[in-house]
Amino acid sequence: MVDSLRKANLVQLPDGNYMNTYCDNVISDIGKALELELTR
């Protein structure tokens, strides 16, 4: 889990939204558990 979180990276877009530039099954599972969309 720690390795996945270290690789995670979000980029802020000009419209104020964020884009995830790395995703794997661990990050996807964390998002589901926290009811967050971390895979887009």
Q: Are 8 and 18 in contact (CB under 8 A)?
A: no
Give the position of tokens 């979180």. 5
pTM for the structure as a whole: 0.65
Q: What is the model's pLDDT at position 7? A: 93
The token duo for 20 is 């995830």
pLDDT tens for 1-40 read: 999 999 988 899 999 888 888 989 999 999 899 998 877 6
CB 5 within 8 A of CB 24: no
